[in-house]
Amino acid sequence: MDWVDLRSDTVTRPTPAMRASMLDAPVGDDVYGEDPTVNALQQRVAADLGFEAALFVPSGTQSNLLALMSHCERGDEYLVGMDAHTYKFEGGGAAVLGSIQPQPIVQDADGSLPLDRVAPAIKPVDPHFARTRLLALENTWHGRVLPADYLRAAHDFARERGLALHLDGARLYNAAVASGVAAREITRHFDSVSVCLSKGLGAPVGSVLAGSAELVDKARRWRKVAGGGWRQAGMLAAAGLHALDHHVARLADDHARAAALAARLAQVSGLRVLGQHTNMVFVEVPAERLRELDVHLQRSRIRISIGYLPTLRLVTHLDVDDAGVERTAQAFAGFFGSVV
């Protein structure tokens, strides 16, 4: 029996068709700019999202780091959500490697940074303070899609105050599919965007940073400094191109399965469904039963991320089918002694 892995959409495996596209990809040395498949991917993402240029990099963490280091200089500051990935889950890279100070701001429940909280966090021009240069947003955030009117307001706010605007769009295409719009309708508000290919899109590795030609030139240098220059990366870029061609629209299937899973789990007594957003379901279980639940699910060959907090996140993706949703619902019901 195959595992049902709901820890994250990063656990997806390349489909047979994706593997075939990787095998046939023409390659060259990307550090010299000579890999035709990498170049094709970069041109595709830049065109699709409405930017001048793009850069293929190994990870979303590096993509965000390169954006921050290209927008900011040593001693500058970026404004970011208190629970944003770039601030909380990327090893403090902006501060450690870029000497860029983060100014975290408490987010609203939908993931937005209230602009009336952002405004007083902008530092005056004074040698006592770091120079505020950048506002960084995240979409989706915990599966939540930032509202379109908020994106417009954030864009206008940043322009009025001379700030650049960066989007951690690791799950940009989930947001676009859930909103029923092209991805560029979201990214048009930003100066740069990082897009992950290895989450819901199902590529084995890689993210793309898009922005102006000047910003991408800076990012390319910082990528080399950070050890991210790679050679015959076209085989990986081919997976990304395949994902963009074949795996974007199907994200709606992941959203539907997450909704179905949330509905089934809502029937389980002893378990509380906190919410479902795009491809993520959040549930709460008694903290004292977490370890026991983990053992029970493992016996049913179901993996979820269980730590010390009672809130659990279950993430659907292209390797989770209807049968996997059903098995998960039954396993939770069996643990709590319910019938669904």
Length of the chain: 340
Write the CA distances from 90 to 55, 83, 303, integer angstroms. Answer: 19, 11, 23
CA terminus-to-terminus distance, the chain: 22
pLDDT of residue 337: 85
Say whether pLDDT at 338 is over 80. Answer: no
Whole-angstrom distance, CA of residue 269 vs CA of residue 271: 5
Average pLDDT over residues 86-115: 96
Model confidence pLDDT, tens digit, residues 35-62:
999 999 999 999 999 999 999 999 999 9
Structure tokens at 99: 């000497």
Model confidence pLDDT, tens digit, residues 217-251:
999 999 999 999 999 999 999 999 999 999 999 99
Question: Does 112 reside within a domain?
Answer: yes
pLDDT of residue 302: 98
Same-domain check for residues 238 and 280 = no
Same-domain check for residues 188 and 290 = no
Question: Does 241 reside within a domain?
Answer: yes
Total domain count, the chain? 2
Contact 46, 212 (CB under 8 A): no
Same-domain check for residues 210 and 74 = yes
Same-domain check for residues 75 and 207 = yes
Same-domain check for residues 190 and 147 = yes
Say whether pLDDT at 1 is over 80. Answer: no
CATH number at residue 287: 3.90.1150.10
Question: Does 120 reside within a domain?
Answer: yes
Contact 66, 40 (CB under 8 A): no
Say whether pLDDT at 340 is over 70. Answer: no
Model confidence pLDDT, tens digit, residues 259-308:
999 999 999 998 999 999 999 999 999 999 999 999 999 999 999 999 88
- Pick the last residue of a domain from 246, 263, 278: 246
Q: Which of 238, 201, 197 is nearest to 23 (CA)?
A: 238
Average pLDDT over residues 307-336: 95
Whole-angstrom distance, CA of residue 261 vs CA of residue 283: 11
Element (H, E) at 118: helix 115-118
Average pLDDT over residues 306-318: 92
The per-residue pLDDT of the chain, averaged, comes to 96
Q: pLDDT category, 339, cuts 50, 70, 90?
A: low
Question: Does 2 reside within a domain?
Answer: no
Contact 134, 164 (CB under 8 A): yes
Question: Does 304 reside within a domain?
Answer: yes
Say whether pLDDT at 75 is over 80. Answer: yes
Average pLDDT over residues 124-142: 96
Q: Is the dihedral of CA 60, 47, 241, 277 positive or negative?
A: positive
Question: Does 148 reside within a domain?
Answer: yes
Q: pLDDT category, 204, cuts 50, 70, 90?
A: very high
pLDDT of residue 308: 80
Share of the chain above pLDDT 90, in %: 97
Range of 314's domain?
250-336
Global pTM value? 0.95
